[in-house]
Amino acid sequence: MMNENYIFKLNNDERDNLRKALTQVPYDPSGNNQYITEIRMAAYKAFPRHIISRLNEQKTSIKPLPYLILENLPLDEKIISVPNSSDDVDGFKSSCMSKRKS
């Protein structure tokens, strides 16, 4: 059973702001260091204060929480590709890599 104290939910406006910020970064299927850095920078600029505060507490705590769950994060509208994978991305549902189309 999950501890409710470890769950942090973005409201819909926060989720939409994060989506907007992340979609401004041009996609790079290689997932290189520059791309990952740009994604992280965009995310940190767009995350709401309560999420950044919790992440900072985790970094500086002597007894950090064993895990954090962030709910209501934005999902990809469309799956473009999966780096270094032989999976057929057309066989997956948009917004959910774990489910194949019927």
What pLDDT, on the 0 to 100 scale, is given for residue 28? 86
Amino acid letter, 60: T
In a domain, 10, yes or no: yes
In a domain, 87, yes or no: no
CA-CA distances (angstroms) from residue 2 to 14, 34, 55, 68, 96? 23, 35, 19, 10, 22
In a domain, 29, yes or no: yes
In a domain, 99, yes or no: no
In a domain, 82, yes or no: no
pLDDT, one tens digit per residue, over 18-33 is 999 999 999 888 889 9
In a domain, 60, yes or no: yes
Q: Which residues of the chain have pLDDT under 50?
A: 97-102
What pLDDT, on the 0 to 100 scale, is given for residue 99? 45
What pLDDT, on the 0 to 100 scale, is given for residue 100? 45
What pLDDT, on the 0 to 100 scale, is given for residue 83? 55
In a domain, 26, yes or no: yes
Domain residues for the domain of 13 are 4-75
What pLDDT, on the 0 to 100 scale, is given for residue 81? 60
- In total, how many domains does the chain have? 1
In a domain, 88, yes or no: no
What pLDDT, on the 0 to 100 scale, is given for residue 102? 47
